Structure 1
Amino acid sequence: MLDFLLSEEGEEQYKSEVVNTISNIIGWTYFVCWSASFYGQLYENFKVKNVKGIAFEFLGLNLTGFLFLSAYSSAGYYKGGDNGWPFSGDITVQDLFFAYHAVAITLLTIIQTGYYYKKGDNKGVSLWCIVVLIVLWSQTIFYVLLTWIFDWQVIFQQEKLNVLYWMGYEKLFISFIKYVPQVFLNYKRKSTVGWSIFNILLDFMGGFLSFLQMLLDSLNGKSANLVDVNIVKFILSWIAMGFDGIFMFQHYILYNPKKRTRDALLDEYSIPKK
């Protein structure tokens, strides 16, 4: 979701310093949007005092994804480049803060979910999700053993820290699948109550601004083409906007809470719907 995945090293030469400044402002803005979006679900859980509206699979996958992102970012920030390890990620202190903050707020959301959980609210984490998490963690640990202990060069043979690049791609995979259980839960319940639309709106804005920044950087000469700016960031932006579009359609069109309340009142008093 941020600039810190798989960006290329090297001197950056811009055609326009003004456009570069605008790009930096946009970058900070989408950083704030994505960081603030986490708090919408905390408030939603507090407001409804139950967790019927949130898929536990989403929480489990989200935590794993941001833990992987934190490992990637930490290695790039503390040990990358001039600090001794070959690492092409351009990790800033803001990137590091975002990753750590995401882990902390996701853990807080899980704790809050446990506090508000009542028997029957949610069936828990599905078997398929447990299997996915076991596979992700198992192959990551195995990858670490091969790369760092036995010194095998696996998959990314040109990079000593290849396991951390693999974690970056795992984060991409998690981001692609983590929203699916929530989409299905909303469909099954025919409601989005308990799932924060505030979270979705900010996430969509962050994804759009992320893409806009890449577009400006590409036009301003940062890379030869748009995707080369940051392939993972490019894909994550469109994944976020795609699923957020689905959630907004569910919330405002299919399962609009105001419309459903009105329909329930009309049914109760046998008033014909217009």
Structure 2
Amino acid sequence: MSLVLIPIARSGRRFAKFVVRRRFPVMNSLLLPICLQFLLSAFATSDDCLFAVFEPRTDSVLLHANKSFVVRLNKPSAEEYTVLLDVEYPDVLLLERSSVRIPANSTEPNHVHYHAAHLKSNVYIAENRTSKSNVCETTQSLEENFVLISVYRLDVLNLVSTILGWVYFAAWTISFWPQILLNIRRKSVVGLNFDFLALNATGFLFYSVYNCALFYVMLVQFQYLDAVPNSVIPVQLQDVAFAVHALLATLLTCVQCFIYERGSQRISRICIVLLAVLWSVAIVGLIVAAVGSISWFIYVTLISYAKLVISIVKYIPQVILNYRRKSTEGFSIGAIFLDFTGGICSMCQMFIIAYNMDEWSQLFGDFTKFGLGLQSIIFDVIFFVQRYGLYGRYNPMKESVTSSTLSY
């Protein structure tokens, strides 16, 4: 993969030099170093030092059951190597031994058996390296030097949770297409609020940057693991696929706004101000990260918070537009059904996981994910009421959009 990407990166670097020097010379000293630093960090490799590898990275075990994990070295050691095991909750996972002795010149797997005594999620077992003089700290060592184990109550709930996860992933992924197909059928985007669209495009751009950075860029991964030790990178391939697909689908909808009938609709002044603030924060943060005042991980986390802000407010303009027009014509209710399905499945999964692992503090302690899911469902219900209750039988003689924008 890297052999394919390196020529692309070089071509992109040449293009960036042309644009910056020929078109925007004042940014030559700023933009190009940022691009080059990010490209170099993406293809960086870790030092080949000695450390213990735990396999698998994550695992789950039924309450009161016995299981094992593997400890080995990433490369042969010239002398005997002792791995001291550090358990986050010793009363939850009862280990058969507290250390593993690995003979010299061996990378053979060593099985460590344990008993699951209590319910708990994400209990880490890691190598205790406090007594070692030369501690290896690379992205690979920080990723592989521990195992996270969750103890659950029932197998069937584990299966239901997995199924719900795939259902809401599919529903949210497909939810972008009913609006696109409706626009094609009507040859019009009248009724689709442009504020909602502009906020969505910016939000999913930020979300794509966050996911791609944590999934692909080794420097960002190292900074995350250094800031949150004994944890797994919280981004998987399906997260990247969803974010990029959402961005491309939203941009396609934006293109439709230029080629189909749109009436007098435009982006409101309030939305422009909000977007200007968010983009200013993103650009200033980019500069601060480029000069090394903050880490790239902090920067991508910052723009992910901007996505959260957008998620909270993005539905409001569409609700107001439907109210002013006394109609939901032009706004796909199919997309809302899919979004509602995804939201319900996501929240059900959170409750099932909380019960199955007796981790209610994670559900209500970190209110961000739960609150955003609940907020999305509430807006979906409002759209249902508007479509099937308030304006379902309202059929205006002429679709007027003179008051469709939020002119404050």
TM-score by length of 2: 0.56
**Residue in structure 1 matched with residue 394 of structure 2 by the alignment:** 260
Aligned pair 1:207/2:339, yes or no? no
- Structure 1 unaligned segments of length 5 or more: list them: 1-7, 154-159, 265-274
Are the structure 2 counterparts of residues 123 and 47 from structure 1 closer, same or farther at C-alpha, using a change threshold of 3 Å? Answer: same
1:250 and 2:386 are equivalent in the alignment: yes
Higher helix share: 1
Q: State the distance in 1 between where 2:248 and 2:367 align.
A: 26
2:254 aligned with 1:110: yes
| Structure ID, larger Rg | 2
**1:69 to 2:203 alignment:** no
Q: Measure the CA separation in 1 of the matches of 2:220 and 2:279.
A: 30
The residue aligned with 2:163 is 25
Query: 1:5: which partner in 2?
Result: none
Could you tell me which of 130, 136, 153 is aligned with 2:272? Answer: 130
Q: What residue in structure 1 maps to residue 176 of structure 2? A: 38
Q: CA deviation at 1:9?
A: 9.4
**Structure 1 length as normaliser, TM-score?**
0.82
Residue aligning to 1:157: none
Residue by residue over 1:51-103, the C-alpha shift from the partner in whole angstroms, topping out at 9 and shown as x without a partner, is 11100011100010001111111122124699533255511111110000000
Alpha-carbon contact 2:199-2:310 (below 8 Å) kept? yes
**Residue 265 of structure 2 aligns to a residue in which SS?**
coil
Counting matched residue pairs gives: 246
Cα distance in 1 for residues equivalent to 2:211 and 2:123: 15
Equivalent AA in structure 2 for residue 97 of structure 1: A
* Distance 1:18-1:235 versus aligned 2 partners, 3 A rule: same
For residues 1-274 of structure 1, the aligned pairs below 5 Å read 11-15=148-152, 16-79=154-217, 84-87=222-225, 89-118=233-262, 121-152=263-294, 161-221=297-357, 223-227=359-363, 231-256=367-392, 259-261=393-395
Q: Distance in 1 between matches of 2:274 and 2:306?
A: 11
1:235: how far off?
A: 2.0
Cα-to-partner distance string for 1:215-274 (whole Å, 9 max, x where unaligned): 111112174524368643222211210111110000000000xx235x98xxxxxxxxxx
Higher strand share: 2
When residues 49 and 66 of structure 1 are mapped into structure 2, their CA distance, relative to the original with a 3 A threshold, is same
Report the secondary structure of 1:192's partner residue. Answer: coil
Structure 1 letter corresponding to 2:241: F
User: Retained in 2: the 8 A contact 1:73–1:96?
Assistant: yes
Question: Contact 1:41 / 1:196 at 8 angstroms: preserved in 2?
Answer: yes
Counting aligned pairs with the same residue, the percent is 38
Cα displacement string for residues 168-215 of structure 1 (whole angstroms, at most 9, x for unaligned residues): 221111011111111111011100010000001110111111111111
Q: For residues 133 and 143 of structure 1, what CA distance do their matches in structure 2 show?
A: 15
Counterpart contact for 1:14–1:20, Cα < 8 Å: no
Helix, strand or coil at the partner of 1:143: helix
**Residue 104 of structure 1: CA displacement?**
0.5
Q: Shift of the alpha carbon at 1:105?
A: 0.3
Greater relative contact order (Cα < 8 A, sep 6+): 1
Q: Distance in 2 between matches of 1:96 and 1:149?
A: 27
- Structure 2 unmatched ranges of 5 or more: 1-121, 125-147, 398-408
